Amino acid sequence: MNLSNKWGNSMQTTTLYKYIVVNEARIPTIEGTTMKVVELVLEHQAYGWNSTELQANHPYLTLSQIHSALAYYWDHQAEIEQDIQWRLQRVDALQKQLKPSNIQARLRQERVLT
């Protein structure tokens, strides 16, 4: 089911998961929020947070929303893992474009940073 904004443009598509919609950029998000499924997955992976801990860190989300997001991830794991890899590559590329900050340059000079 497509939802439209006031100009008739498609904004998001509902999914079979109660709280999950796919926005026009094809990114699954929790309906009514800006929280992307991939963001919850990354927190789950990086910090080892379970659904209760995720909810404690995002009190505006219900446990049902979190469980729905995690269920979406498990059913679309390859697709979301590919998105995570793309994001990591993008971060690496952006970091390579940045000049070191003054403090980083100074620390490297003093051999504190390698």
pTM score of the predicted model = 0.73
Q: What was the pLDDT predicted at 1?
A: 42
Contact assessment for residue 20 and residue 29, using Cβ atoms and an 8 Å cutoff: yes
Question: pLDDT at position 100, please?
Answer: 75
- Contact indicator for 16, 24 with CB cutoff of 8 Å: no
User: What residue type is assigned to position 32 of the chain?
Assistant: G
Domain 2-109 fold is: Arc Repressor Mutant, subunit A (1.10.10)
pLDDT in tens, 75-92: 999 999 999 999 999 999
> Tokens in use for 88?
């990591």
What ranges do the domains of the chain cover? 2-109
**pLDDT beneath 70, residues of the chain:** 1-11, 112-114
Angle between helices 77-97 and 37-47 (to 10 degrees): 80
Amino acid at 101: S
